[in-house]
Structure 1
Amino acid sequence: MTYPLQALRTFVEVGQRGSVKAAAQALHVTPGAVSQQIRLLEDRLGVVLLERERLGMRLTKAGASVYPKLLEAFLQIDKAVDTLEATTSRKSLTVSTVATFAASWLVPRLGRFKQHNPDIEVRVEATSELVDLRRARVDIALRHGLGNYPGLDVMHLMAPVLVPVASPAFLKDQQESITDAADCLRFPLLHDSDRADWALWLNAHGVHEDPRAERGSAFEDEFLLIRAAEAGQGLALVAQAYARSEIEAGRLVQVLDKPWPARFAYYLVTRPGAATRPEVKAFMDWICQEAATSMQIDQISASHA
């Protein structure tokens, strides 16, 4: 019988961190995707490997019996791949990130990297599927989370500035205006999958806990969230960098001049020692400079909104 390798890796990540959420951040996927992989593995084996407890997940007796061997196996695979890559002299690199960040921020800027580094080929993997940086042929991951990626080299890249937006048609149809943060609660709110940003944004602007902050439709991808706002379905709290073109084109309006730094940030993540490769170092230096410039532009835009 064969077993799904990705599910085995997911089990190792949860066992190592004791948390589905922490494993999801490390693998650059949603907690739901992690839980699905664990269920797949347990169904295939016919045994429970992890049990939920108040502060996270713990290994069952069966899970604890196989976890050390699986962990060692994946570490050996990682070392073998590192050795193989070290023997090559390819002038290329693979960057993994989610589709929203790739399309709205990274890809439009890649031309500048190619101008200064014409001999380096960049391959962008835009996916929300499980990404194992230590095993997959990925040189750099641009991950959105809290920066907790054990065993990897992590560099803070930038924290998106969130702004509330809506379509002009939606605002025109409303009988009430929006003059402060609390007014947003009277309108349909659109969320990302975590449903956390609105409550945090409202609290940051003096609006205390309110159950209305968690109501409304939720979307897995920020592109979908922006499209829903454009379609007039409600107010969305989105990264200013992602919505800049829609705002400039008049398809969206920033409803309040109350930008707020997101709780989660983007991090540049690599395997230990990856920066010793000249092409990886060149890309890291370039993207850090681009991120700094982007944050300065966001701050200027926010001050003139």
Structure 2
Amino acid sequence: MTTALPLQALRTFVEVGQRGSIKAAAQALHVTSGAVSQQIRLLEDRLGIVLFTRERYGLRLTEAGACVHPSLLEAFAQIDRAVDTLTVLKGRQTLTVSTVATFAASWLVPRLGRFKQRYPQIEIRVEATSALVDMRRDRVDVALRHGLGNYPGLEANRLMAPVLVPVACPDLVADCHAIREPQDCLNYPLLHDADRADWSLWFAAHGVVHDPRAERGTAFEDDYLLIRAAAACQGLALVPQEYAREEIAMGRLVQVLDKPWPARFAYYLVTLPGAMQRPEVKAFAQWIREEMQIPATLSAT
């Protein structure tokens, strides 16, 4: 029988029992006193039991009413708390961002505090991986990827092309051959990216004829590992200037030549088609372009 009891009548019973007054309960429920009286009569009729004793200055719970009132009061308090939780969750937005570990550690994470200050309602979840992700399957909202912009079935917006600079640990270049020109780098072990292409392109861009030494040396899948190898005096590395900035400031690396060179690859903000319609994705895209000082107009590739 309790499953068929009207919820509004039970809520009205709780309010009247808590306040001892039909008028006060009506004000709390934003209804008329007549509506409150009607709900109480309905509940008493359905239960076949008197819940209130009418007195001169209000209503008093009967023994039966007093027996169940605390439980119903707590039940409706739990309902109210649950509704409040849903209201909070409705106002909160979650954004999952996938990127490579080096970019996350060197560029993104140190700046996320500014995003949080501007958009406190957006919860950011950063996933750092060098593997390709299935944005639908893995529920990734935004992927920040380093490549040529060819992401079939996805929308890719070009962000920036990192400037590569040659770096080494100070001890490696302190007592050996002086590095005054790009070709002098060939006298040292070279550390490579996974494609083994950057050094050859860097030398060509600075007028150095092809030399087999430009293709020799250890290769690393991730820029973070490349920087660590350079800091361990294993050779010269050609790395994004932004990634090496802290290492240079701490004295663990030095830039051996002032010969920056734009990389072939660029960073792209990658999303599922139509994702920019979501406010949290649009907000993140606009923010990251501001951080990179890129004009605000987004153009999908």
Give TM class, smaller chain: 0.5 to 0.7
> Aligned letter for 2:108?
L
Count of residue pairs brought into register by the alignment: 205
Rg larger for: 2
Q: 1:270–1:89: structure 2 CA closer, same or farther, 3 Å change rule?
A: farther
**Where in structure 2 are the equivalents of 1:1-305 lying within 5 Å?**
91-174=93-176, 176-292=177-293
Give the AA of the match of 1:171: V
| 8 Å CA contact retained: 1:158, 1:292 | no
For 1:190 and 1:222, the matched residues in 2 are separated by 11
Output the CA distance in 1 between the equivalents of 2:135 and 2:212: 38
Distance in 2 separating the partners of 1:139 and 1:198: 34
Shift of 1:129: 2.7
Segment of structure 1 superposing worse, 130-139 or 242-251: 130-139
Deviations 1:11-43, CA, capped at 9 Å, x for gaps:
xxxxxxxxxxxxxxxxxxxxxxxxxxxxxxxxx
Q: What SS does structure 2 have at the residue aligned with 1:232?
A: coil
* Residues 43-102 of structure 1 deviation map (CA, whole Å, 9 limit, x = unaligned): xxxxxxxxxxxxxxxxxxxxxxxxxxxxxxxxxxxxxxxxxxxxx875111000011111
Where 2:239 maps in the other structure, the secondary structure is strand
* Residue pair 2:95, 2:122 contacting (<8 A) in 1 also: yes
AA partner of residue 290 (structure 1): E
CA-CA distance at 1:221 after TM superposition: 1.3
Are the equivalent residues in 2 in contact too, given 1:93–1:139 (CA < 8 A)? yes
Q: Distance in 2 between matches of 1:247 and 1:104?
A: 13
Matches of 2:288 and 2:204, distance apart in 1: 32
Instruction: Supply the AA of the counterpart residue of 1:118.
Output: P
Residue in 2 that maps onto 1:50 = none
For residue 224 of structure 1, report the CA deviation from its aligned partner. 1.1
The two structures have a TM-score, normalised by structure 1, of 0.65
User: In the alignment, residue 291 of structure 1 is paired with which amino acid?
Assistant: M
1:145-198 CA-to-partner distances (Å, cap 9, x unmatched) read 000112211110110000000111111131x10111111111100111111100
Tell me, in whole angstroms, the C-alpha distance in 1 between the residues paired with 2:258 and 2:131: 35
Separation of aligned partners in 1, 2:202 and 2:135: 32
Give the CA deviation at 1:135: 2.9
Unaligned 5+ runs, structure 2:
1-89, 295-301
Aligned equivalents of 2:138 and 2:246: distance in 1? 33
> Does the CA contact (< 8 Å) of 2:92 and 2:123 recur in 1?
no
The one-character-per-residue Cα deviations of 1:221-255 (angstroms, maximum 9, x if unpaired) are 11111111111111100000000001111111100
| Aligned amino acid, residue 218 of structure 2 | S
Q: Please report the TM-score for the alignment, with normalisation by the length of structure 2.
A: 0.66
Secondary structure in 1 aligned to 2:120? coil
Sort the Cα spacing of 1:114 and 1:90 in 2 relative to 1 into closer, same or farther, 3 A. Answer: closer
Q: Quick one: distance in 1 between partners of 2:132 and 2:289?
A: 25
> CA RMSD for the aligned pairs?
1.3
Work out the CA distance in 2 between the residues paired with 1:244 and 1:130: 27
